[in-house]
Structure formats: structure tokens, C-alpha cells
A and B are shown apart, each in its own frame.
Chain A
Amino acid sequence: MAGFDKVVGSYEEAMAGLEDGMTVLAGGFGLCGIPENLINEIKRKGTTGLTFVSNNCGVDGFGLGVLLEDKQICKMVSSYVGENALFEKQLLSGELEVELTPQGTLAEKMRAGGAGIPAFYTATGVGTPVAEGKETKLFNGREYLLEEAITGDFAIVKGWKADRYGNVVYRHTAQNFNPLAATAGKITVVEVEEIVEVGELDPAHIHTPGIYVDRVIVGHFEKRIEKRTVKEA
């Protein structure tokens, strides 16, 4: 690599350095905007004992669901899971641990982690099972929970276009958690549909500035649809 050029040529190179027991932040909401090829590379690599921080855990046979097949995930930090039978099985058998986190709190934990803020107060979850064991404080007479930030050894992100410097734009609602995960990984890997020339992306329209990004790779995506809804003709 030279200078700011972040582009790598293979998925093996993209996920080099991932080791057993690491924490990985993954972008995506449902199956929308998930780094599907980076996930498949983790499966190929066979890394185990991984903690994943991701809003969901894919479905059977696609997305993070494929990492359950060889029991590579030991813990999920998510807001909504259980769209896959294997997940349920491993959860009930105790092979998989889940830390359920409200969606907005999960997003803010990643944002804070990337922004150097170790913890923040939120009203979300006060008086619920989420509050158990957490510090609370009153501000203007209302109770808030102290929630800690999250960072990862790796962040795996799905973008639409990137330039060689790692500036990224996302497409439609495939943005979701991706820009947040991108800020909070020690090593942030972004896979995109297209790599464009430096200078081609409008500087004011970049979602993730290259400073957050360590590696960029171009891939082909299945983009499976979880709930296909169309209007009646």
C-alpha cells in the first residue's frame, strides 16, 4: 500500500489479522446493507469465539447466519434476533450468548465508540430489564441510564461506492448501521460495489470519510430481500 491507497486485492487480505476471540462490528439492518462477502470470508477462514455487534444475525444460510453453522459466534450484541432456526437452537443450548440492546442505544454505542466518548446517558430502557445493573442519574427530574460505548477489533462495512482513499457513500437505506460501525473498528474493512477514481465523489456528499477506513475491496453482491412487498397492480 502506498500513501492513502486503501484498496486490497483479495478477501483474504481484507480480513487478515482476524483472530479467535475478537469482537467484530458489522453494518446492516436485516439483510439490507450487510457485508456479505466479508462474512463469507470469515466463514472460510474458520475463526471462532467471535463476538458480533450487529443489529441482527442474518437468516439461515445467509448473512451472519452462515457463521452459526460452524459455531464461530459465541456472543451477539443485537436489538432483534431469532429470524433463524439455528440461532434459536444454539441460544437454547447455551452455545450462544445474546446481549439484547435497544436499537437506538446500539447505534449510539457504536457512534460514541468511534467518537471517543466512553459512555452516555439515555432514557431508553429505564424501568425495563435493560436497566438491570446499570447506573442511573436524574437530569431535570427525569431518570436516565448510563450506557457504555462499543468498539471492535474489526468493523466490517458494506458501502456502495468508495474511492481508493477509503471515502465511502452508501446507497439508500443500506446505510443504516454501516457508517457507525465504520468509525468504531480498530481495523475497518469496507466492501463496495464500485471503486471510483479519487476526486470523483463529491467531497460534501461523502458519508464515511477515509480517515476511518483501513481497507477497501470491491465485490459482487447477492442482496437478498428478506420481505419482498410490492403494491397490487
Chain B
Amino acid sequence: MALTREQMAQRVAQELQDGFYVNLGIGIPTLVANYVPSNMEVMLQSENGLLGMGEFPTEDTIDADMINAGKQTVTTVKGASIFSSAESFAMIRGGHVDLTVLGAFEVDVNGNIASWMIPNKLIKGMGGAMDLVAGADNIIVTMTHASKHGESKLLSECALPLTGKGCIKKVLTDLAWLEIENGAFVLKERAPGVTVEEIIEKTQGKLIVPDHVPEMTFA
């Protein structure tokens, strides 16, 4: 069975480490915050200028001046800090964020990522995505393995305009955990019940399949 969005978030959360500063993109990445292990301290960075993002407010504590990068009203945790957008992107560009999780339309064997622009459709903009992928060393891309029509999103070369070049090393899809090494996807784990054959069939770019591909485990 393909992973649900919640299971994808759970799998990403297994990559968290105590003391990590983490930037979570919109969509599935946002759900990762729900699976931070209770014995671990993690600080969430929001690129509009907040380190230490907390949960949503109550009706009583809602504040128009307190939002996240998705423009949602939020709160801060104890020990949070707030700063300008230039300071925020200095943290990101300067490589100070330990883990960045974001979605994409396509990823290819050379670590290129396309996530912001589909030609001939309305282009809203890249927001902070280009800065995030250029600045971070440790990025996890979360996406479905193939489109609804079965077209692979793991390609030999991205067809859409790029968000960043050569910057992606880890991809979690609804079918598999893959890492990008030496111009190929390496199949590291498969979703419970998903066969290696199905992953091979739905991966267009070069795929290296080790002799043993373990199933993901969830606590």
C-alpha cells in the first residue's frame, strides 16, 4: 500500500535529531511537526522571520501580527526568536538550518528539483523555495512517486523549470525512500506492501536496486 500523507510525515520525522533547527514547507512537510518524538527538542524555522514556531493559537490568543510562512496564524514556543526577512534568509542561505523538508513536482538523478512553475499555467512565484534548496545541505523532498496518470516524477532529467540545481540527495515518495548518488536514485526502503517491481515501473530515471530493500517501519 502506498503511504498516506500522515505516514509520509511520520517517516520524515524519523530523520529528526535532538537539537535540530528545521524548516518545513507547505503540505505534507507541515505535518512532520505532529510527529516530533517527545524525548526530543526540535525548533521550527519559518522563513518570514520566526525561529521557534508553536502550535495554532486559540480564538482568544489569535494575533494578526503572528503568522508563519504559509500566512497561517501561529504561536511561538518558549525560547523563540523573531527577526527580519534578511536575517531569516541569512540563516537559510548560510547553511544554519539542519533539515529542510519540502514538496516538489519533479526530481531527477542529478539532484535537480522543479517545484514552482508549470509553463502555460499561472505562475505565482517561487517564494522562499529557491533560497531553501540552495542554502540547505540536508533536504528531504516529499512527493507522490507518480502523477495520477501514472507518469513518473523521478526522472533522468527534470522537464519543468528548476527551483535548484544539484541540491537534492533524499526523496520520500508514497512508495519509497530513495537517495541520490552518482547520477542515480538508490532505493533504500519501500512502503509496507509495495513491491520493488512497482517502484521500478514507476521510476523513469536510473534506479539502483540493492539485493535487499527493507520495508519502512513505523512505531
Stretch at the interface among A6-14, A43-51, A66-74, A103-111: A103-111
Please, how many angstroms separate the alpha-carbon atoms of A76 and B48 in the complex? 19
A175 interface residue (CB < 8 Å to B): yes
- Closest Cβ–Cβ distance, residue B102 to chain A (whole Å): 13
Q: Does A149 contact B (CB under 8 A)?
A: no
Q: Is the CB of B49 within 8 A of A128?
A: no
Give 1 or 0 for each of B165-193: 1 = CB within 8 Å of chain A CB: 11000000000000000000000000000
Q: Mark A69-108, 1 if CB is under 8 A from B, else 0.
A: 0000000001111110000100000000000101111111
The interface stretch among A17-25, A211-219, A221-229 is A221-229
How many residues from B make CB contacts under 8 Å with A?
Answer: 51
B73, B117, B122, B130: the one contacting A229 at CB < 8 Å is B73
Chain A residues within 8 Å of B207, by CB: none
Residues in A whose Cβ lies below 8 Å from that of B112: 127
**Taking the complex as formed, is A167 at the interface, i.e. its CB lies under 8 A from any CB of chain B?**
no
Given A81-B125, A230-B58: A128 touches B164 (CB 8 Å cut-off): yes
Interface of A is mostly: loop
A225 and B62 contact, CB distance less than 8 A: yes
Which of B70, B71, B129 is packed against the most chain A CB atoms within 10 Å? B71
Q: Does B159 contact A (CB under 8 A)?
A: no
* Of listed B47, B68, B72, B124, residue having the most chain A CB within 10 A: B124
Cα–Cα, bound, A178→B63 (Å): 18
Q: For the complex, count residues of A whose C-beta is within 8 A of B.
A: 54
The answer to whether B71 touches A173 (Cβ under 8 A) is no
A231: interface (CB < 8 Å): yes
Contact A78 B89 (CB under 8 A): no
B134 interface hit (Cβ, 8 Å): yes
Contact assessment for B124 and A231 in the assembled complex, using a CB-CB cutoff below 8 Å: no
Residue from A33, A82, A104, A178 with most neighbouring chain B CB atoms (10 Å):
A104
B82, A229: Cβ atoms under 8 Å? no
Most central of B50, B57, B64, B112 by chain A CB within 10 Å: B64
Question: Which chain B residue lies CB-closest to A207?
Answer: B84
Q: Which of A191-233 contact B (CB under 8 A)?
A: 207, 223-231, 233
Task: Name the A residues within 8 Å of B135 (CB-CB).
Answer: 104, 123-124
Cβ of B59 within 8 Å of any chain A Cβ, yes or no, is yes
* Binary CB contact string for chain B from 62 to 81 against chain A (1 if under 8 A, 0 otherwise): 11111110111110000000
Inter-chain contacts of A53 with B (CB < 8 A): none
Whether B72 pairs with A123 at a CB distance below 8 angstroms is no
Is residue B88 within 8 Å, beta carbon to beta carbon, of the partner chain? yes
**B27 at interface by CB-CB < 8 Å:** no
**A32 touching B67 in the complex, CB below 8 Å, given contacts A82-B122, A103-B85, A123-B93:** yes
- By a CB distance below 8 angstroms, the chain A residues around B92 are 104
Which single residue of chain A is at the shortest CB-CB distance from B117? A129
Q: How far is the CA of A189 from the CA of B130 in the complex (A)?
A: 31
A39 within 8 A of B: no
Q: What per-residue 1/0 map shows which CB atoms of A115-159 lie under 8 Å from chain B?
A: 000000011111111100000000000000000000000000000
A105 to B84, CA, bound (A): 13
Residues of chain A having any CB pair with chain B under 8 Å: 29-33, 55, 78-83, 88, 100, 102-108, 110-111, 122-130, 160, 171-180, 207, 223-231, 233
A-B contact pairs, 17 of them (CB 8 A): A80-B126, A104-B93, A105-B89, A107-B85, A123-B134, A123-B135, A127-B112, A129-B117, A129-B161, A130-B130, A160-B65, A173-B65, A176-B48, A180-B86, A225-B64, A230-B56, A231-B57
Q: 9 nearest interchain CB pairs?
A: A104-B89, A127-B165, A104-B131, A223-B64, A80-B125, A103-B128, A107-B85, A30-B71, A102-B130
